[in-house]
Amino acid sequence: MGTASLDENFYQLRIIPLAAGKGQRLDVLRRLILLHPGFRSGIVRKKQLVSFAIQYHLGEGCVMTGFKSVGSLQRVRGWLALGLLAPFSLSAVAETVAAQAAEDNSFDLPALTIEGNRLYDMLPSEETGGYSVDAATVGTKTPAALKDIPQSITVYTQDYVKDRQFVHLDDLAKYTAGLRTLTNDSGRSSIYARGYEYSEFNIDGLPAPMASIFGTVPSLAAFDRVEIMRGPAGLFSSTSELGGIVNMVRKRPTAEFQGHIEGSYGTWDTNHEEIDLSGPLDEAGRVRGRFIASRDDTNGEVDYNANTSNTYYGALDIDLDDATTLSFGLMHEVKNITPHNGYPATLSGEVPDFSHSRFLGADWNYFDGKTTDLVAELTHRFDNGGYGRVAARGSHRDTNYLYAFTATNATTGANSERASARDFTQDTYSLDASYSQPFETFGQVSEFVVGSDYKNYDTEYLNGTTNLGAINVNTYSPKQFAKPSPNYSTETGMQEEEYGLYSKVTFRPVERLALIAGGRFSWYRGDFYTTTLSSGATTNDSKRVDGHFTPYGGLVYDLTDNHALYASYSQVFKPQSDTDSNGRVLKPREGEQYEFGLKSSYFGGDLNTRFSVFRLTDKNRATTVYDADGVATTDSVASGKTRVKGAEVEVSGKLTPNWELLAGYTWMETETVKGDAETTFFIMPRNQASLWSKYTISQGPLTGLALGGGISAMSNFHSESGGVRIDAPGYATVDAMLSYPVTSKLTATLNVNNLFDRDYLSRVGSTSTFNFYGPSRSMMVGARYDF
């Protein structure tokens, strides 16, 4: 990758093999172009003058050793595209390169005149490597340079996920500054940003609900990278959360065969196995497939608290022609968990000092969940530089659970055991069609996108609670109570439908300024019912929204080629499905955010930084009602008006070619402007920081040895319900990793979490439940073999 700024003449580049196949030759040449600083992500924001000469050396492959100006500058106009460059033939150029290289070990590639189109594909992070990328798709409809998106975005790459051995999205979120994970079983935790829970997650920009209570937090096995945007994203999803959007980008089939198997084993019988196979399915390489199977299993530090997750993923990409691709992806995950719901607290707000292995559930606790997602996508690149995309996602969720947990009497402080049961099914569908087109304005490149989307969520569940009897938490045994039958008391159903029209324009009146404006019209329909099973009485309600307009605005100003100021204004309007004690649906939520910041890049784009400040206002947010014993009910109330303000700093990328860094800090403050203070915001610490770094030795007998380490820290936080406040002191934990390439294909790894065995509370809830200790020190040893 580049190690100098754009206006310098020489750049050090990585090794690129020159293969024999036509498709591979194309890949070599387009990499040659994209590796130029400013083109690394394929995003060209304005006309630029570029020319280059390349020296190759024949050996096992061709080695690209330099990138130089050859004097005669040639114009690169518009937006570069993978495989769609004119007016010359890429295959012809690549064949000429191969022929010259065969005759002479080195040569100069003549200056080329290139007229191209905007790049609408990003190279996957598993291919580019490292902890940083230049671009993202979250909050947009096509890849955009991070500097050109006027909101806070963090992208987690495949290298980072593998180095940390994360299993589910909530595992990753625990180590992300500005995000707060409310600890529960892996794949069953709540994720918050800026005080708001992520209630949906996208797959390639297509949404479906995500809820910790139903265990629908996804596995990471099928995804190349995770894109997290903080703050409202009402332009492309007016009913999204104020906390932002999580976009999971699928691993795609590769043009060449590749594969790996990996396995690991560690503390508490934790183990992981995975196989990943990918490659062309026909001789021409127009049909490509991929299959991944992954299993994660642990007995957990807490007695009885087993957790097994099996994930399967299949993908198929078909090139219908040189400009049109049809893609499919199928994901299926099965979770089998013995749930642990934490510990009670005293009426004075103290969490008992139990052993970390203490289990206050029952030996018959179970949580069984299945999720299936099918994604289909059709894309076309038009000759005029435009890009069209039609994509759909269908999701099915099926969750059934019965588990015991503690309750605390709000008057006497006496403890009892209850059993909660639910039988949940959900079918959701989402569809999106969009068209993007770059156009020239005053010698600059601007762009517009127009589109329409649709989503339909159909949910039904049975809910019930059984009182099992009084307990003494000090002598309680998980075998104390016999397994009851699910005592369902209510049936709840909801069908929500939304469709919208949206448009956004990025207008560049001068070279350094981009003005961004957009809007969305939304139509919403929601039908809800709650039936009391004992009496058969049913409460019905419905909500309608017609043509609600959601505006969006922003600007980006380039101070230099490496530093850009930005500002944005965004809104959300979110009809709610939460009901009050009378079964009536609460009023829609309304929220808005102002954000300002500075984004910078260094070392030719290898290191990226972001500083941002924000103010967010929210009205009518639903909050859970707790009963007299501090146990959450299914009822909600509107919370009034809340204001959140904060600041964030983030650094990601390479300090040197061998030294990776990912670090962040968040400061946040919450004010209740109108109504009662919300307990949800109290769980967000005022200060939160995370750091992870990895250094790889590049020479000597230990070449390839990678040493990694990091720290995760937060200040004091607390929760409050039923007039009882539970405080948790701030804490910091240290993690470490080591990996070594035993051979060119076999890599061994060691991960240690909570290296210094810090004892701390990771979450506080109510006097009844959801008070958790953080896990003790643990280790994981693994190996990976690449085909």
Report the pLDDT value the prediction gives residue 398, as an integer from 0 to 100: 97
Say if residues 197 and 190 touch (Cβ distance below 8 Å).
yes
pLDDT 10s digits, 186-205 = 889 999 998 888 889 999 99
pLDDT 10s digits, 209-267 = 999 889 999 999 999 999 999 988 878 875 567 888 999 999 999 999 999 999 999 99
Section 421-450 average pLDDT:
93
Q: What is the pTM of this model?
A: 0.85
Report the pLDDT value the prediction gives residue 67, as an integer from 0 to 100: 32
- Helix or strand run (H / E) with residue 442: none
C-alpha angle 586/588/591, rounded to 5°? Answer: 135
Section 756-771 average pLDDT:
94
CA distance 475 to 453: 56
pLDDT at 158 over 90: yes
Structure tokens at 633: 């009910």
What pairing do the DSSP bridges indicate for beta strands 778-786 and 270-280? unpaired
3-state secondary structure 496-515: EEEEEEEEEEEEEEECCEEE
Report the pLDDT value the prediction gives residue 144, as an integer from 0 to 100: 86
Structure tokens at 472: 């003494």
| Listed range (142-146, 271-275, 571-575, 691-695) with the worst mean pLDDT | 571-575
Q: Which of 250, 141, 248 is nearest to 191 (CA)?
A: 248
Q: In this predicted model, which residue has the larger pLDDT, 606 or 238? A: 606
Could you tell me the residue ranges of all domains in the chain? 22-119, 250-786
Taking the CA of residue 390 as centre, how many other CA atoms within 13 Å lie in the half-sphere pointing to its CB? 4
Section 453-462 average pLDDT:
96
Per-residue pLDDT band at 707 (split at 50, 70, 90): very high
Per-residue pLDDT band at 682 (split at 50, 70, 90): low
Architecture of domain 250-786: Beta Barrel (2.40)
Got the DSSP string for 663-700? Answer: EEEEEEEEEEEESSPPHHHHTS-SEEEEEEEEEE--SS
Q: Which of 292, 312, 321 is nearest to 380 (CA)?
A: 321
Report the pLDDT value the prediction gives residue 16, as an integer from 0 to 100: 32
pLDDT at 120 over 80: no
Report the pLDDT value the prediction gives residue 641, as an integer from 0 to 100: 79
CA distance 586 to 577: 7
Q: What is the dihedral of CA 129, 604, 95, 87, to 10 degrees?
A: 120
What pairing do the DSSP bridges indicate for beta strands 200-203 and 244-250? parallel
pLDDT at 25 over 60: no
